[in-house]
Amino acid sequence: MQIPHFHEANHPLVKSLFHHSDQELLSLFQSHPEAGKYFTVIFCRYSPIVYTLIQHSARSPVQADYLFALTWRHIYYELGGLNLTNPQPEQEALTLQNWLINITAFCINEIKLPPTEAIHYSLQATSPPLWCYVEQALDQLPPILRLMVLMAQTFHWSETRIAAYLQAEGEKISPLEVANFLQEGYLMLEDKLPPDIRAIYLGEDSAQS
């Protein structure tokens, strides 16, 4: 298994932060939750180590990619509360690299992976940082829009099937209305992504923050 190359590492917003130390990047990530570039730089810096650890434990490349993405999702949610500067009494100071290795080992041991044929995640299509921020944006959508977007994108349901499901749940909605709601949901989802994430992954030039 080859360690994948992530094109975001070549983006100017990401490259401009490579000189920062791990502690600086962690502090910037924690103090600027509206920005996505700091987590993306941490990801680019440490994805080779995390992937190397994971590829030896997974049964297939598809499972390795999925576990890799799930591990970075776990890292994303844990990083916000990480404190490297004040270790507990009788503990050695922790480095970000050692912490990431520990988290990766935890995920390898604790996450139960579905069979290869049940995994629909593509590492080439959705890099883990983009997945984390899309998921965060999804959480901000109104429940009915979020449900429709997930049905369309995750399960590839047609507007007709989505409308039929919602009608069975008591929602009076037509396939045409579903199509309109989906368009609204996609626009809202994109709007709720951090501007720098849109610049790095969607090619928007307007965000240079």
Residue 73, SS3 per DSSP: helix
Q: Where does the pLDDT of residue 86 fall: very low under 50, low under 70, confident under 90, or very high at 90 and above?
A: low
Tokens of 35: 């920005």
Claim: this prediction has a pTM higher than 0.95: no
- Residue 13's identity, in one-letter code, is L
Would you say 72 and 37 are in contact if contact means Cβ atoms under 8 Å apart? no
**CA-CA distance, 121 to 134, in Å (whole number)?**
14
Contacts of 48 (CB under 8 A, 6+ apart): 3
Q: Output the pLDDT for position 59.
A: 85
Where residue 179 falls among pLDDT bands split at 50, 70, 90?
Answer: very high
Contact 53, 101 (CB under 8 A): yes
Average pLDDT over residues 183-207: 89
